[in-house]
Structure 1
């Protein structure tokens, strides 16, 4: 599955490609189907969200199954396989690591790590501290590769997450988070124990080959109380894949 920034220009570019591939479909139907693929009930609802996103939009998934279903609802007999996929200079980002099929979140700890890191990466994206585009770091002082950026935010559980961002090269951003830190530590995710906090986790955001988090499942420490809180959370990534190999 791919994702695009939710802007008028990006939607128009994708729509132009669709008119070439589905030239038997009416323009208005393609617009409605594309809006549905992006997660909206109607094209009007999508346009409202484009306005709300402003000049620096987040990325939204474009779902092939939803796109084809909506076209079929309009009476077109279209079937797969069909994939939204980035081409050279495309506005799209691929969100599925080619090795993603090897990674499953089966255990409680694996699922908890996934929820922890998706929530954390989502928050950094919402704050526009970096984007899913290659090299697009925005935190203060990001021009110096040796600097890190730290911020705190509140999880839906009411717990405090302390996050550290760092550019590690190759278009990757390391994202480390400590939950409810009780002492000050340099590079807390590397040094914190469960005496110092309730949980700690790390990942690396891939942005060169596509957009996904690398599944660093062995980077996770968590007490049972917060683990159960994480398992109760329902969170989806903001336009990136939630699994990928660690390079």
Structure 2
């Protein structure tokens, strides 16, 4: 893990670590760990929690909830890949992020793993938290928030908030999600790496 971080240079994005998976792997390699391995965030610089205690109250039980989760995780991951922001508190990098006006919102287009065209907006809403909207297959200019989008404007739209002050996780906003049935099936089948609300582990940055 530390070698991978070093390979990213002086500006690493993040490296997801899961103690449960590491414990299983150590036992497979015949390094018996009975009580489980634990990364001490106080001893490792840059380690951040990705598990919010409130996540235990949330379950993605329906196909709709899981499709929303996949869309938002894919959007956040794409923004991280482009280094539009990082998971560090206050680390915004898009042009005009410090203007604190409507113009400080940043918009970018990308393609989902499904092949569908998506548009995202990112905005700093204070306290190191970001508001992130995503819309798929736009037919009109996206409205201010995914909460107010409708299926006449696009095939899917959703909103989330990315916490970066007390940890790094995506906050649940499944009630913001609108999606056509055809696209819902494609989003459900989409594979995304976890960096979401309720994903247990930590990230090293």
TM-score (norm 2): 0.86
Change (3 A) 1:157 1:66: closer
Report the alpha carbon displacement of residue 234 of structure 1 after superposing the two structures with TM. 1.4
Structure with more contact order per residue of length (Cα contacts < 8 Å, sep ≥ 6): 2
Distance 1:142 1:71, change over 3 A: same
Residue among 37, 56, 62 paired with 1:107? 62
Preserved contact between residue 85 and residue 94 of structure 1 (Cα < 8 Å): no
Structure 1 stretch 55-64 or stretch 170-179: which is displaced more? 55-64
Q: Residue in 2 aligned with 1:23?
A: none
Aligned pair count reads: 197
Counterparts of 2:138 and 2:120 in 1: how far apart (Å)? 11
The correspondence for 1:140, drawn from 74, 77, 95, is: 95
Distance 1:92 1:104 in 2: 26
Query: What is the match of residue 174 of structure 1?
Result: 131
Q: Give the CA deviation at 1:63.
A: 2.1
Distance 1:235 1:75 in 2: 31
Q: Quote how far apart the aligned CAs of 1:76 are.
A: 4.1
Q: Partner residue of 2:111?
A: 154
Cα distance in 2 between the residues matched to 1:175 and 1:50: 29
Instruction: Measure how far apart 1:117 and its partner are.
Output: 0.3
CA positional deviation for 1:103 = 1.0
Distance 2:32 2:109 in 1: 50
Gapped runs of 5+ residues in structure 1? 1-5, 12-45
Match of 1:235 among 182, 192, 200: 192
Name the CA distance, whole Å, in 1 between partners of 2:142 and 2:31. Answer: 60
Residue by residue over 1:162-216, the C-alpha shift from the partner in whole angstroms, topping out at 9 and shown as x without a partner, is 1000000011001101111111245252442101100000000001110000010
Q: Is the 8 A contact 2:122 2:131 kept in 1?
A: yes
Task: State TM-score, norm by structure 1.
Answer: 0.73
Tell me the distance in 2 between the aligned counterparts of 1:189 and 1:94: 27
Cα distance per residue 1:137-177 (max 9 Å; x no partner): 11111112221000000111111111000000011001101
Q: What is the RMSD of the two structures over their aligned residues, measured on CA atoms?
A: 2.2
User: More displaced, 56-65 or 143-152?
Assistant: 56-65
Question: Whose radius of gyration is greater, 1 or 2?
Answer: 1
Question: Which of 209, 215, 219 matches 2:172?
Answer: 215
- 1:40-94 deviations in whole A, cap 9, x for unaligned? xxxxxx55x853x343222122222333344445554432144224228831000
In structure 2, C-alpha distance between the alignment counterparts of 1:100 and 1:138, rounded to whole Å:
28
Change (3 A) 1:75 1:192: closer
The 3 A distance-change label for structure 1 pair 80 and 223 is same
